[in-house]
Amino acid sequence: MDINLLYWKNEGKTFLSRLRLWFNILDPSSLLCSDVSIQEIVHYGLIMEFILISSKVLIYLFLQSSVHAGTGAILPAVFRPQGTVVASFLPHSGVKPALFWQFLLQSYSAGFNHANRNASSDKGIKTSLKQGLLIVGSVAYATCAGAIPQIVIQRLSMSSPAVQMFFRSVLPIPLSASLAYFNVVIVRSEESENGIQVFDSNGNSVGISQAAGAKAVRETALSRAALLGTTAAVPNLLIFLLQKARFLQRSPLLVAPIRHISTAIVLGLMIPVSFSLYPQLGTIKKEKLEKELETAAVSGELFYHRGL
């Protein structure tokens, strides 16, 4: 089992412990480190494995943010966990801007999901080609679906304030959550189809499990839906409450800055929260495993890398 996963096994047993770790991991300064420096740190970490686990030094936090826990490969800087803070919900004044910003958001989400997937059952070029087509299709579909509120308002000339409020403030909440869930499920579908590597309590690999793969994808999809759904909901609710305040009625131009600032704050807070909802080193009970793997689950469960 990878040393990063061993660290999560020991230190990420509860939501609060995982949340504390993610607040430390999501340090933007590590994005400035070169790949050569990361390789040196990885090499040092492998040599000093026992010492690092015992003393819990901060080098683990750096590895968690820059290196894929399942493969040990260096993550592209833009798709490391810190990079998600650049994603934001921007207001749209027309269909074309809505499609453009949705395309950027969905493309980034697909790239992040693919870079941080569990690749333990990757079967080579054929699988990669299939996944590439699925990713392109999911981005195209989610881009169009994400722009539906603006398309409806513009193309159908909706003038009713109540209808416009529904499409601008209410519909984007479940839509954002649903598309985030959809993006993870499609981009990481190979994990459900091919299965992922599972480990016993000693960290030894015991085989590939489709059940574990489906559970890992489902948990990650739910965490991502919580991230984007909450980020869409809280600023809209805040603006709705503040619109009754006198200072906002006298200065309506403050609505846009308040929306942007609150969105950035909520997103920044929800990223570590959503990452902490489920353990990085997940467990699956013996009864839910494939028949050939049940005998390997001596303690009644096996472990798997959930991905991010």
The pLDDT of residue 152 is: 84
Task: List per-block mean pLDDT (blocks of 10 residues) for the chain, which spans 308 residues.
Answer: 70 84 71 53 46 42 53 58 45 75 87 84 66 88 88 77 82 91 92 88 84 93 93 86 74 76 86 90 85 74 87
Predicted TM-score of the model (pTM): 0.80
Sequence-distant (6+) residues with CB within 8 A of 233 are 173
Closest CA to 306 of 63, 122, 116: 116
HSE at residue 20, side-chain half, CA atoms within 13 A, is: 8
Sequence-distant (6+) residues with CB within 8 A of 59 are 41, 44, 45, 52
Long-range contacts of 254-260 (CB under 8 A, 24+ apart): 256/91, 259/91, 259/235, 260/88, 260/90
CB 119 within 8 A of CB 146: no
pLDDT in tens, 69-84: 555 566 565 555 544 4
How many C-beta neighbours within 10 Å does residue 29 have?
9
Distance, CA of 41 to CA of 120 (rounded, Å): 23
The pLDDT of residue 88 is: 42
The pLDDT of residue 77 is: 58
How many C-beta neighbours within 10 Å does residue 230 have?
19
The pLDDT of residue 245 is: 72
Helix/strand/coil (H/E/C) assignment for every residue in 95-155: HHHHHHHHHHHHHHHHHHHHHCCCCCCCCCHHHHHHHHHHHHHHHHHHHHHHCHHHHHHHH
